[in-house]
Amino acid sequence: MASSLASAASTLPSLQLSAKYSSLHINAARTNATLQAACTWGRSPARPVTNLYPRTTDGGMNRLTCNDDDESVRDWFISETQKYGCHHKVDEMGNIFAIRPGQNNNLPPIDTQPTGGKYDGILGVICGMEVLQVLHENNITTYAPVAVVNWTNEEGARFPPAMLCSGVWGGEFSVNYAHGRQDPEGESLGEELKRIGYLGSTPWEPTKTQDPAHFEVHIEQGPILDVAEKPVRIVKGVQSIRWYNISITGRESHTGTTPMDRRSDALLGAAKIIVETNRIVTENEVAARGGRATIAVINSSPQSINTIAGKVSLGLDIRAPADSDVELIEQQCRSGFEKICRSHGLQMTFDNFWISPALNFDATMVGCVKQSATELGCDIEIVSGAGHNSVYTSRKVPMAMIFVRCRDGVSHHPAEFSREEDCAAGAQALLGAYLRYDDYIRRSTAKI
């Protein structure tokens, strides 16, 4: 996957910025100030400093989809982007498109993309907003329109699954399915979008290509950039991901009266399965190719201290840059798990309930990101280990991503932090990549 994309990108023509564009630079202090303003709503309570995160003094973010804070920040986003000449469309999933007109408004816009958390997601929309501000203050009219998109419910924390509304846009889910997703209190996404005033009227059109390109900026959520002391990274694609529900069934019996050699202990079998999962991806050949497998969910019953567990459910996550390696890990897991179950008199079901194939981003767009990142002294390329909205948007339009350094690689935690200068570098890489692709669209259109 990586080599084929790299070779394709290397054949691209040089995408140098014109003199008009090469002097454009983002404002680092303004970018950070906009980020802090976006986090006004939904700050979680401060947490005490710990040994694990000694530098953390703030409480991060707690702003779930369609709560009152989400409504307020949506209002703020629209109000702010109006200042930069944008008009807005809100679709049936509450996705907000802030669109700045270009020279050729018959073309659909080139997008940038945000999601949720203090840096995990919010940084994406802030970088997009900074691009809008640079274009506006320099009186730049791009060839194609530019849009910053606020996707609804990327994390899926309140309305699972994750990436739900970009999934509707990309054709993975139906509008009715998404509107019907419920939170633990039984409130549906459709009802809550209506309550906060963001159940839009723009229909989702599954057969229409709405955008010529889509860039996404996101924190790395890993330690490689921090170790390398580089601000940004070129993302060439997203690795293959599969999720499984595994059910282990044994026999409940009394812990005090059942001999050790007469037991069918589902929890003991599950423990050995967890160890076997780790062995497969650390000792076999897939380890060298970046294969990963994790069991992070375990539930047993009947949860009585003097009763041997009769049933255990596990959640298995398998990932690798290549689909073939995910399939290989799955085969090895099935074989190893079945052997464990036979030795303990257990029954197993193995349900693969979600598949996200390996994804190569568009070579031209990756080339735009690469040339922009290289100007910042960054040439590290990666296949993303995490899923992003780009997985679904890439089904409709060309796609590329930029990763921004985050301290210690920590994410999904209040300690998540990116330095002001790294956030600025992410916005600068986005600006350069966007302008290069806009010029590419202009030249391509002129040849038609």
381-436 pLDDT, tens digit per residue, is 988 887 788 888 888 899 999 999 999 988 877 778 999 999 999 999 999 999 99
Burial class (CB in 10 A: 0-12, 13-18, 19+), 245: middle
pLDDT averaged over every residue in the chain:
87
Residue 278: is its pLDDT beyond 90?
yes
- Confidence tier at 51 by pLDDT (50, 70, 90): very low
Residue where a domain stops, chosen among 334, 356, 378 = 356
Residue 280: is its pLDDT beyond 60?
yes
Q: Rounded to whole angstroms, how far apart are CA atoms 82 and 75?
A: 11
- Confidence tier at 254 by pLDDT (50, 70, 90): very high
Say yes or no: 230 and 285 in one domain. Answer: no
Assess if residue 92 is contained within a domain.
Answer: yes
Amino acid 22: pLDDT: 84
Residue where a domain stops, chosen among 296, 328, 356 = 356
Residue where a domain stops, chosen among 309, 334, 356 = 356
Assess if residue 391 is contained within a domain.
Answer: yes
Range of the domain at 205: 8-239+360-447
Say yes or no: 17 and 161 in one domain. Answer: yes
Q: Which two tokens stand for residue 111?
A: 């997008």
Assess if residue 201 is contained within a domain.
Answer: yes
Cβ neighbours of 156 (radius 10 Å): 16
- HSE, CB side, 13 Å, CA atoms: give it for residue 158: 21
Q: Are 196 and 74 in contact (CB under 8 A)?
A: yes
Among 50-54, 231-235, 391-395, top mean pLDDT goes to: 231-235
Say yes or no: 235 and 106 in one domain. Answer: yes
Amino acid 61: pLDDT: 79
Amino acid 5: pLDDT: 27
pTM, entire model: 0.81
Instruction: Characterise 391 by phi-psi region: left (phi > 0), alpha (psi -120 to 50), beta (else).
Output: alpha
The phi, psi pair for 307, rounded to 5°, reads -130, 125
| CA geometry: angle 191, 88, 162, nearest 5 deg | 45
Amino acid 211: pLDDT: 53
Say yes or no: 351 and 437 in one domain. Answer: no
Residue 233: is its pLDDT beyond 90?
yes
- Confidence tier at 111 by pLDDT (50, 70, 90): low
Assess if residue 3 is contained within a domain.
Answer: no
Q: What is the CATH number of the domain that holds 409?
A: 3.40.630.10
Say yes or no: 304 and 329 in one domain. Answer: yes
* Mean pLDDT to the nearest integer, 75-102: 95
Name 398's Cβ contacts closer than 8 Å, sequence gap at least 6: 212, 213, 214, 361, 362, 364, 365
Assess if residue 163 is contained within a domain.
Answer: yes
User: How are the residues of the chain apportioned to helix, strand and coil, as percentages rounded to the nearest 5?
Assistant: 40, 20, 40
Q: What is the CATH number of the domain that holds 324?
A: 3.30.70.360
Assess if residue 49 is contained within a domain.
Answer: yes
DSSP state of 13: P
Amino acid at position 246, single letter: I
Give, to the nearest 10 degrees, the angle between helix 2-10 and helix 363-374: 70
Count of the separate structural domains present in the chain: 2
Q: Rounded to whole angstroms, how far apart are CA atoms 275 and 295?
A: 9
Among 47-51, 164-168, 248-252, top mean pLDDT goes to: 248-252
Assess if residue 2 is contained within a domain.
Answer: no
Say yes or no: 185 and 289 in one domain. Answer: no
153 vs 2: which has the higher pLDDT: 153
Q: What size, in residues, is the chain? A: 448
Q: Rounded to whole angstroms, how far apart are CA atoms 120 and 143?
A: 30
Q: Rounded to whole angstroms, how far apart are CA atoms 321 and 238?
A: 7
Amino acid 10: pLDDT: 36
Percent of the chain with pLDDT over 90: 67
Amino acid 3: pLDDT: 25
- Confidence tier at 11 by pLDDT (50, 70, 90): very low
Amino acid 44: pLDDT: 66
H-state helical runs in 290-419: 323-343, 363-374, 390-393
Query: Which of 14-28, 112-126, 305-319, 343-357 is predicted with the least confidence, judged by mean pLDDT?
Result: 112-126
DSSP state of 307: B
Assess if residue 373 is contained within a domain.
Answer: yes
* Mean pLDDT to the nearest integer, 23-47: 86
Per-residue pLDDT tens over the stretch 255-277: 999 999 999 999 999 999 999 99
| CA geometry: angle 216, 243, 241, nearest 5 deg | 40
Q: Rounded to whole angstroms, how far apart are CA atoms 198 and 213?
A: 25
Per-residue pLDDT tens over the stretch 206-230: 445 555 889 999 999 889 999 999 9
Say yes or no: 320 and 375 in one domain. Answer: no
Say yes or no: 208 and 268 in one domain. Answer: no
The phi, psi pair for 30, rounded to 5°, reads -65, -40
Displacement of CA 76 from its chain's centroid (Å): 23
Q: Which two tokens stand for residue 330?
A: 């799955």
Q: Rounded to whole angstroms, how far apart are CA atoms 241 and 353?
A: 11
